[in-house]
Structure 1
Amino acid sequence: MLKRVAASLAGTLMIGLPALAQDLVVEQTFERAIVIEDEEGGVEMELLPADEVKPGEQLFYSVTYINDSEEPATDVVLTLPVPEDVSLLEDSAVAEYDEAFVDFSIDGGKTYISGARLVSDSATPAHLEIPEEITHMRWTFSQEIAPKDSGRIFFAAILK
């Protein structure tokens, strides 16, 4: 059975107040991710339109941002709710170029736990025991975004 995806992020991205006063332009998308095995046994992910997906299929959410200003954007914070009909995949919430740190909320965005606290002191990341309970993710940028510079934050999830 196919299910219409109602997991659009449109209208749900929250930008921190200092960034809101600046000209930061964001575009949100989500796509269906499929894994393709090549002749040598390697695997590769292909992204397709997510108009209709089946429960259990993987979705790839991304937010592209650009500083459409002549001034650097500072103190940028982007907050994304996790759609209710998906379960976040562990270790999938990242930012290109490692310029932002991600925190997670399980209480509707009231409080956050640092993504850094989810990593153990060893080389192996600690596993998040309840990824399906995550309601929001917050990316805090560690450096300014230069004029006309752009980047992307993203995460993957499974449709329930």
Structure 2
Amino acid sequence: MSSKRTIIFEAALVIGVLATGLTAAQAAHAAPLQAVLQATDARANVKIDSKVLVERTEPNAAGEIQTKLYNPSDVKVIPGDRLVFVNTYHNRGVTPVTGFVVNNPIHAAVTFAKVQEEWATVSIDGGKNFGKLTEFTVTENDTGAESVSITRAAQPSDVTHIRWTFDKAIAAGASGELRFSGVVK
């Protein structure tokens, strides 16, 4: 294990259970934040809160198309809906925090669309390797009459995890947001 400790962030929305009647809000609360840090590590002072919003494009009263964000408990989440995942971090300590890393898995019922921060990296192999999406290729095996392997550029639908590695210290009292979006399968 490297000297950097990793904060494992479970902002995974358990959309797969929506068919059983569980609302997206209930599913989000079923996936609590897990932090793997020692109590003496300053990184333990950085708290992360997460929320999931449903993005809808609809006409306003004047008939103009606009995009709105809704709490999942206020709308029915259906396949094809765009979800916006917002991870808010806040250093509640009195010292700057360095070496801070946030990993966020993508739930199997959500197809990754994009990440807001250009400095974020992604994984297509379950969180083993991280980099820019354009750096990865995927090899698929055709199990037809002739076994053929096909290599293609990785696509957003191949993303399994997102990682934010903070190059700069998070100042005492500082806060910010990390955002990504996905589409319900």
State the structure with bigger RCO (CA 8 A, min sep 6), 1 or 2: 1
Q: What is the correspondence of 1:14-25 to structure 2 with a 5 Å cutoff?
A: 21-25=43-47
SS class of match (1:113): coil
For 1:103 and 1:44, the matched residues in 2 are separated by 30
User: Pick from 32, 45, 48: which aligns with 1:11?
Assistant: 32
User: Pick from 42, 62, 66: which aligns with 2:86?
Assistant: 62
Q: Is 2:171 the counterpart of 1:150?
A: no
Alignment-mate amino acid for residue 108 of structure 1? G
Alignment-mate amino acid for residue 112 of structure 2? L
Structure 2 CA distance for partners of 1:132 and 1:7, relative to 1, 3 Å: farther
Q: Pairwise CA RMSD of aligned residues?
A: 3.0
The residue that corresponds to 1:135 in the other structure is: 160
Given that residues 19 and 75 in structure 1 are in contact (C-alpha distance below 8 angstroms), is that contact kept between their aligned partners in structure 2?
no
For 1:7 and 1:105, the matched residues in 2 are separated by 24
User: Pick from 75, 91, 111: which aligns with 2:99?
Assistant: 75
For 1:12 and 1:136, the matched residues in 2 are separated by 15
Gaps (5+ residues) in structure 1? 119-127
* Higher helix residue share: 2
For 2:181 and 2:72, the matched residues in 1 are separated by 13
How many percent identity over aligned positions? 24
Alignment-mate amino acid for residue 11 of structure 1? P
For 1:55 and 1:145, the matched residues in 2 are separated by 37
Measured against aligned partners, the alpha-carbon deviations of 1:23-73 in whole angstroms (never above 9, x if no partner) come to 0000011011111345485x4321112134011111111100000000001
SS class of match (1:47): strand
How many matched pairs? 143
- So what's the TM-score if we normalise by structure 2? 0.65
For 1:134 and 1:80, the matched residues in 2 are separated by 11
Alignment-mate amino acid for residue 84 of structure 1? A
- So what's the TM-score if we normalise by structure 1? 0.74
